[in-house]
Amino acid sequence: MAKKEVNTKSKKIIPKKEKIKPLYGNKEKWLWGIIIFCFSFLIYSNALKNEYAFDDDVICMKNRFVQQGKAGLKDIFTKGFTVGFDGNNTGSYRPFTLASTALEVEFFGNNTTVHHFTNVFLFSLTCFVLFFTLSFMFKQYNILLPLLITLIYASHPIHTEVVANIKSRDEILSFMFFVFSLSTFVLYVPKKNFILLLFSMLFYFCALLSKENAFTFWVIYPLVYYTFFKSEKISQVLFSAIPFFLVFIIYMIIRRSVLDVMTFEGEMQLINNSLMAAKSSTDRFATAMMMMGKYLLLLIFPHPLSCDYSYNQVPIVSLFDIRAITSIVIYGLAVVYAIMKIRKQDIIAFGILFFLITMSITSNIFVKIGSSMAERFLFTPSLGFCIIIGFLLTKLYRGKLTEKLYISKTYFLLPFLLIILIAFSFKTYSRNKCWKNNDTLFFTDIKASPNSFRLQSAVGSNIR
C-alpha cells in the first residue's frame, strides 16, 4: 500500500509514490565483481612461475618481429601471424596478440613471469566484465544467475590450456574483446545510444584482430537481442546483426590484403589434423562428431586433460561407431530443443545455440582447420555450457529468481555449487603446474594422450 501524506494547506490527501527498488544495487554488483576477479586470479596464480612451454615460441623467443619490440609492430600489423616465426604468410592474422607480447619484450625483455601475469590478469578481467555483462543480460533475475555462470566459467579446468599457455593469449584477447563488445551492445539496445553501438563494433573488430575464431560472433548479437529483449520486432533483431557483419567484412578485406593464402587448406598436414586420414567425407563427419562428443565429456568431467589430441590420439571412425552415433543423437536432440524453445526466449536454448555457433568454426564439420581437436577451442563456446549449468543449478534455489536473493534459501544449492567449484578449482590449480615447461608438460600429457605422434616425438627428443 502506498503511504499517504496530508497537505496542510489544501487539506487534501496526496498519495506518496513508492520507488521500485532493483533486485540488487551497484555496490553489491561491484563487490561480487571484485570477488570474481580475485577468485579467477587466485586459481591461476601458480601459473606465474611457469616458463616457456609447448608452442610459446610462436609468439615469444623465436618470433623475430616480437623480439624487435616496438620496432616490430609495423611488420606485425602488415603480415600474417606466423611470418616472424616460420616465414609463412598464410592462414592467420592476429596482430593484437603479437603486439601485446612485443610490447612486453620492449619494456620487460623475455620475462616469462610478465607474459604469464598478463595472461592471468586478462583472464581475470574478462571474468570480471563477463559477470557485469551477464547481469545486464539477465537483469530480470536476481544476482544469483550471473554469479553462478561466471564462477563456473572462471573455475572450469578446460581453460587451463589457454590461460597457462602464453601462445593461447589469442583466445583470451578474442573472447575478452567479444565480452566487452557484448556488454556495450546490451547497454545500447534499450538506450539506442549510437556511441555505445560504435564502441561495441570497435570491440568486435579488436576480437577479430586477436583471433579469427571471432568469425562467427556476429551471429550472437541478434541471438542476444531476440532472447533478452522480448518486446522487440524480428526485423529489428535481424537488423542488429548488420553493423557487426559489416565489421566482419572490413576485417576480411584487410585479412585478404595481408595474407598470401587465406586458409590452411593448401598446407594441412596429417600430423596436425588426423581427419586428413579419413578415406571418405562420411568418415570425416563421423570422426568430427565423435570429437564433438569428447568435447562435451570434457566440459562435464574435465579429466584427464592434454595439450595435444593430434594424430593418432583420436582415430578415424565410421558412421556406425557407437561413439559417433551417440554424439550425433545428443547434438541432434539439442538442436531440435533449441529451435523449438528459442521462440520462447528459453535460456537453455540460448546456451545451446551460443555453444553451437561459436564452436562451428573449429569443429572441423563445416571447414577443415589446422588442428583436429584442442581444449583451447572450448574457451569461448564453454560459456554456453556454463549458462546451461548455471541456470539448471538455480532450480535448487528455494526462492524466486525474480525477487531479491536470500542466502537463507540457498541451502539446497550451496552443497552442489561448493562441490563443483572446489573440484574445478583444485583441478585447475594442479593442472597449471603441468604447464611449467616442456619436460613437465610432455611427460605428464603422454599419459593422457599415449597415441599422439607429436607427444611421443617430443618425449623422445627430451629423453635424448
Is pTM beyond 0.85? Reply is: yes
User: For residues 15 and 20, what is the distance between their CA atoms, to the nearest angstrom?
Assistant: 15
What average pLDDT is seen over the chain?
Answer: 92
Sequence-separated (6 or more) residues with CB below 8 Å from residue 275: 284, 287, 288, 316, 364, 368, 372
Sequence-separated (6 or more) residues with CB below 8 Å from residue 108: 114
> Which pLDDT tens digit goes with each residue over 438-454?
999 999 999 999 999 99
- Alpha-carbon separation of residue 340 from 333, 345, 385 (angstroms): 11, 10, 19
Is residue 248 predicted with pLDDT exceeding 60?
A: yes
Q: Note the pLDDT of residue 23.
A: 64
User: For residues 209 and 95, what is the distance between their CA atoms, to the nearest angstrom?
Assistant: 6
H or E segment to which residue 5 belongs: strand 4-6
Task: Cite the DSSP H helix spans in 229-321.
Answer: 234-239, 242-258, 281-300
Mean pLDDT along residues 418-436: 98
Is residue 46 predicted with pLDDT exceeding 70?
A: yes
Residue 235, number of CB atoms within 10 A of its CB: 8
87: three-class secondary structure by DSSP: coil
Mean pLDDT along residues 92-107: 97
Is residue 396 predicted with pLDDT exceeding 60?
A: yes
Mean pLDDT along residues 136-164: 96
User: For residues 117 and 129, what is the distance between their CA atoms, to the nearest angstrom?
Assistant: 18
Task: Cite the DSSP H helix spans in 211-280.
Answer: 220-228, 234-239, 242-258
Q: Note the pLDDT of residue 11.
A: 46
> Which pLDDT tens digit goes with each residue over 64-96?
999 999 999 999 999 999 999 999 898 799 999
Reported as a pLDDT band with limits 50, 70 and 90, residue 230 is confident
Q: Note the pLDDT of residue 20.
A: 39
Is residue 134 predicted with pLDDT exceeding 50?
A: yes
24-28, 97-101, 157-161, 311-315: segment of lowest average pLDDT: 24-28
Residue 319, number of CB atoms within 10 A of its CB: 14
Q: Note the pLDDT of residue 174.
A: 98
**One-letter-per-residue 3-state SS of 101-164:** HHHHHHHHCCCHHHHHHHHHHHHHHHHHHHHHHHHHHCCCCCCHHHHHHHHHHHHCHHHHHHHH
> Which pLDDT tens digit goes with each residue over 253-300?
999 999 987 665 444 578 888 998 999 999 999 999 999 999 999 999
4: three-class secondary structure by DSSP: strand
User: For residues 268 and 176, what is the distance between their CA atoms, to the nearest angstrom?
Assistant: 29
Is residue 144 predicted with pLDDT exceeding 80?
A: yes
Reported as a pLDDT band with limits 50, 70 and 90, residue 235 is confident
266-275, 330-339, 348-357: segment of lowest average pLDDT: 266-275
Strand partners for 5: 14
Q: Note the pLDDT of residue 232.
A: 61
- Alpha-carbon separation of residue 449 from 131, 253, 303, 305 (angstroms): 35, 39, 12, 9
Q: Note the pLDDT of residue 446.
A: 96
Q: Which DSSP state fits 185?
A: H
11: three-class secondary structure by DSSP: coil
Amino acid at 401: L
Amino acid at 358: T
Cell of 172: 583470451
Q: Note the pLDDT of residue 241.
A: 95
Q: Note the pLDDT of residue 250.
A: 97
Nearest to 121 by CA among 67, 53, 47, 178: 47
Q: Note the pLDDT of residue 14.
A: 40
Q: Which DSSP state fits 19?
A: P
Reported as a pLDDT band with limits 50, 70 and 90, residue 9 is very low
